[in-house]
Amino acid sequence: MYHLTALVTLLAILFFFFTCMNVSRSRTKTGIKVPAMSGHPDFERAFRIQMNTLEWMPIFLPSLWLFAIYISDAIAAGIGAVWIIGRIVYFVGYSQAAAKRGPGFAIQGTAAIALWAGALGAVVLRLVS
């Protein structure tokens, strides 16, 4: 069973939902009306946080699950938790200033690449053996 990976998946989805709600809150706070996508730096940063998270979800989630299936549920969940922590650090930094998004991006990017590379290695190893 993959209970830990399932939990991390649900937490990642919860974090994405939080970023969606943050964009809505930011629209209200800054007066940016739908469908406008720009006009106030605070809103634009909130929107980019949400979109960047969405952009990484199709990289992160399949890699997370393939890693869990081919290597380990617990290790996948641990690396997945690091990805979520990286997204939170990214959120906090980018909310303050665009220049502060780097550390969180590096954390989540490293975690995602570790999951992807681990899954790829495990799949290739199974194919050749």
pLDDT at 63: 99
Task: Give the pair of three-digit tokens for residue 55.
Answer: 């952009």
Whole-angstrom distance, CA of residue 83 vs CA of residue 56: 10
32-75 pLDDT, tens digit per residue, is 999 999 999 999 999 999 999 999 999 999 999 999 999 999 99
Whole-angstrom distance, CA of residue 127 vs CA of residue 72: 18
Mean pLDDT of the chain: 98
- Please, which pLDDT band fits residue 20 given cuts at 50, 70 and 90? very high
8-17 pLDDT, tens digit per residue, is 999 999 999 9
pLDDT at 3: 98
Average pLDDT over residues 75-101: 98
Whole-angstrom distance, CA of residue 27 vs CA of residue 38: 10
How many domains would you assign to the chain? 1
Omega cis (within 30) before 58: no
87-96 pLDDT, tens digit per residue, is 999 999 999 9
Instruction: Report the predicted TM-score, pTM, of the whole model to 2 decimal places.
Output: 0.97
Write the CATH number for 94. 1.20.120.550
Average pLDDT over residues 115-128: 98
Domain limits at 41? 3-128
Q: Taking the CB of residue 39, how many other CB atoms lie within 10 A of it?
A: 12
Question: Helix or strand or coil: residue 27?
Answer: helix
Task: Give the pair of three-digit tokens for residue 121.
Answer: 């290695």
Question: Helix or strand or coil: residue 8?
Answer: helix
User: Which amino acid appears at position 117 of this protein?
Assistant: A
